[in-house]
């Protein structure tokens, strides 16, 4: 019996939609099974959270407008201070999300050649291997798991006995509750972003992290600066404080973190999200799990070779994985993932963006053949004009200029890191930046200035070059006399 589809994508995440549209563009017959989720799924909440965070940034800029000579003049009919009307802010954020997701409506996807099916389903073995949804048996040559992410079922003692929030439902409550006391649990990028947003809305915020730094994947210097920024804005940060239990006592919630008991009105669980894979009967079709989740090879195949899956939680990395899985599923499973030169960022203020190896990782791998160069945003004319001078750019390179990694903490770091990521993917060395002066006044000057620092440091380390040039100019001066 012939298969019905070349590819069946299970899950309506942005990466899943990307894969379905790309497959249809290649003339493959593709179905997208959009599993029912909560009314406010993770894909929407990520965009919604960033939209609300933008409101907090604008408010913070207005509070600091005096640095540009701008004052709130009551006699001119303006408010004496910038305030947020949360109902209007949330309505605007909802419109942003709605506008974005209208582009991925079933009608639009259908016009692009994607067969969209909404319903809960599961894999089956007999009489033929396939996926059943809405009592309809779908058969595909290959399958791609691209489900929406959700907060993991946490093993914190007492968590299931009280009401807590997740990033997906944070804004679905009375706006007045946002200005209460909060304990934010987790060292994920979302936890850091939301802790800053809440404190800017006058909430009392405690950020609880189990590890020794707030962002375990980040460069230590960058993580420390981000922690200092949060603390300067009023966030209480507790590191090395794993949460052992939570309790509801009277009208307050209590969190036992390390050796401290913290009282709060609300708890926000913002640990790293996990794919929604429950109810798909994956074990029944030979898909295995380990402590990290699905067992995947470098081709993104599960232990059932006809079922592919995405492991990344960052949208852009998930889309990259989708492109690899798509080629393997539609053609031949020859393509492997290569994450070298793919960066990531968190959208705090200032932003933090990173690509490649950290300084510690590079020194562990390459020993003494590692050079670190820094440049600070306060040296940029553009940053001074914007009033955004906090932060730095840090390159980790080998002695020959090969870029091993970079981290940027500062304004528009997420945009600037892309240029470095492209250089790394194309194996272009740091010296190329020093030979390519950027437009002035721009923030990209920080990359150029950092490359010049590396050039000068490289020259100062080379006694042979210094001696040669000294002899050369001595000789020229003697010729001129």
- The pair of structure tokens assigned to 274 is 């996990």
Alpha-carbon torsion, ordered 262, 266, 272, 276, to 10 deg? 140
Determine the Cα–Cα distance for residues 138 and 132; give it in Å rounded to an integer.
Answer: 6
Q: 220-232 and 189-200 are packed helices; what angle lies between their axes, rounded to 10 degrees?
A: 20
| 346 close to 53: Cβ distance less than 8 angstroms | no
Backbone angles phi, psi at 439, to 5 degrees: -65, 140
The span from the CA of 357 to the CA of 377, in Å, is: 22
Q: How many angstroms separate the CA atoms of 371 and 159, rounded?
A: 46
Alpha helices in 244-334, H assignment, sequence order: 315-330
DSSP 406-447: EEEEETTHHHHHHHHHHHHHTT--THHHHTSPPPSS-TTHHH
Beta-carbon-side half-sphere exposure of residue 118 (alpha carbons within 13 Å): 7
Is 268 in contact with 164 (CB distance < 8 Å)?
yes
Measured distance CA(167)–CA(182) in Å, rounded: 13
Hey, is 269 helix, strand or coil? strand
pLDDT number for residue 68: 82
CA gap 8, 290 in Å, rounded:
24
Distance CA 183, CA 213 (A): 17
- Taken in order of first residue, the domains within the chain and their CATH numbers are 5-151+274-330 (3.50.50.60), 159-269 (3.50.50.60), 344-460 (3.30.390.30)
Buried/exposed 57-92: b ≥16 CB within 10 Å, e otherwise: eebebeeeeeeeeeeeeeeeeeeeeeebebeebbee
**Helical axes 189-200 vs 42-63, angle rounded to 10°:** 40
d(Cα 70, Cα 53) in Å, to the nearest integer?
23
Q: What is the per-residue pLDDT for 152? A: 64
What are the average pLDDT values for consecutive 10-residue runs of the chain, which has 481 residues?
83 90 94 68 71 87 81 58 80 85 85 91 88 90 86 77 85 78 90 93 93 92 96 95 89 89 92 82 90 89 95 88 95 93 94 96 94 95 94 95 96 96 94 90 94 80 64 70 57
The Cα 189–Cα 344 span in angstroms is 10
Nearest Cα to Cα of residue 148 among 172, 125, 166, 130: 166
Confirm if 117 and 31 have CB atoms less than 8 A apart. Answer: yes
Give the separation between CA 261 and CA 408, rounded to whole angstroms. Answer: 35
**Which has the closest alpha carbon to 138: 331, 306, 301?**
306
Please provide residue 282's backbone torsions phi and psi, each rounded to the nearest 5 degrees: -65, -40
Specify the pLDDT at position 77. 47
Residue 343, pLDDT score? 94
As a whole number of Å, the CA-based R_g of the chain is: 26
Whether pTM > 0.85 for this model: the answer is: yes
The structure tokens 């393509």 sit at 335
Mean of the per-residue pLDDT values for the chain?
87
Supply 162's token pair: 């009280």
What 8-state DSSP symbol labels residue 147? P
The CA angle 406-409-410, to the nearest 5 degrees, is 130
Instruction: Estimate to the nearest angstrom the gap between the alpha carbon of 316 and the chain centroid.
Output: 8
């Amino acid at each position: 019996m012939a298969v019905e589809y070349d590819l069946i994508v299970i899950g309506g995440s942005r990466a899943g939609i990307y894969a379905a549209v790309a497959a249809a563009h290649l003339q493959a017959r593709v179905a997208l099974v959009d599993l029912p989720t909560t009314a406010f799924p993770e894909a929407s909440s990520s965009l919604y959270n960033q939209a609300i965070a933008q409101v907090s940034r604008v408010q913070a800029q207005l509070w600091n407008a005096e640095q540009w000579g701008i004052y709130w003049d009551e006699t001119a009919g303006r408010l004496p201070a910038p305030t947020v009307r949360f109902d209007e802010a949330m309505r605007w954020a909802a419109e942003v999300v709605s506008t974005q997701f209208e582009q991925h409506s079933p009608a639009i996807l259908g016009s692009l050649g994607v067969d969209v099916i909404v319903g809960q389903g599961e894999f089956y073995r007999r009489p033929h291997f396939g996926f059943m949804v809405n009592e309809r048996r779908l058969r595909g040559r290959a399958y791609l798991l691209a489900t929406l992410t959700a907060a993991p079922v946490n093993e914190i003692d007492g968590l299931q006995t009280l009401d807590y929030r997740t990033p997906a439902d944070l804004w679905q409550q009375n706006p007045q509750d946002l200005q209460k006391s909060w304990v934010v649990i987790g060292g994920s990028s979302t936890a850091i972003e939301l802790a800053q947003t809440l404190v800017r809305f006058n909430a009392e915020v405690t950020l609880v992290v189990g590890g020794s730094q707030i962002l375990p994947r980040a460069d230590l210097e960058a993580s420390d600066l981000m922690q200092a920024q949060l603390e300067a804005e009023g966030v209480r940060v507790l590191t090395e404080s794993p949460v052992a239990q939570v309790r509801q006592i009277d009208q307050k919630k209590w969190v036992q973190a390390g050796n401290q008991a913290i009282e709060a009105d609300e708890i926000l669980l913002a640990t790293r999200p996990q794919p929604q894979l429950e109810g798909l009967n994956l074990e029944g079709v030979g898909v295995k799990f380990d402590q990290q989740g699905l067992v995947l090879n470098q081709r993104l195949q599960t232990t059932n070779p006809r079922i592919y899956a995405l492991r990344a939680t960052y949208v852009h990395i998930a889309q990259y994985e989708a492109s690899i899985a798509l080629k393997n599923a539609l053609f031949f499973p020859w393509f492997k993932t290569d994450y070298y030169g793919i960066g990531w960022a968190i959208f705090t203020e200032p932003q933090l963006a990173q690509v490649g190896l950290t300084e510690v990782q590079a020194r562990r791998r390459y020993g003494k053949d590692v050079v670190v160069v820094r440049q600070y945003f306060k040296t940029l004319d553009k940053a001074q004009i914007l009033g955004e001078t906090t932060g730095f750019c840090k390159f980790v390179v080998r002695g020959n200029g090969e870029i091993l990694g970079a981290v940027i903490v500062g304004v528009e770091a997420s945009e600037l890191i892309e240029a470095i990521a492209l250089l790394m993917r194309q194996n272009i060395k740091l010296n190329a930046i020093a030979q390519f002066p950027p437009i002035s006044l721009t923030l990209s000057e920080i990359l150029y200035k950092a490359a010049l620092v590396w050039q000068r440091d490289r020259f100062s380390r080379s006694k042979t070059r210094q001696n040669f040039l000294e002899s050369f100019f001595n000789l020229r001066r003697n010729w001129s006399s």
